[in-house]
Structure 1
């Protein structure tokens, strides 16, 4: 059940689904700070397409990007050699 704690999410009528509510208070990040970060991003002049939240979220995305960056670097010459000659 939603706590109705006056947070932005509950003020807008958002209620967590039962499995989510069961983990309430166990998440590594502060939900209120997450909501604030999302609202800040939405109000920004250049709203990000992706906004990973928390150190775990940022680490996961950066790790994923590093993996792709390494693969592209390993195959960069082959990929670039597909240009038309001339």
Structure 2
């Protein structure tokens, strides 16, 4: 399953999310604490905590951190959907 980042990382009003907002979204959807996120991304828990600090809102979150979290979350969602009897397929583009 691939992620359409153009649509997934958007606010309800259509504005794109910052990398910080993407990071928070993935942690929330994945129900991940900083230790789990650190293990998935292979960085120290202190690095994850750094990105969670309110003072770091302007700091870009590295794609090396975002992509493993994204993969973990989507793999887990795909597994959950499959166990519920759903077969997820990409949206057909007109």
In the superposition, the TM-score normalised over structure 1's length comes to: 0.30
Greater RCO, CA 8 A, separation 6+? 2
TM-score by length of structure 2 reads: 0.28
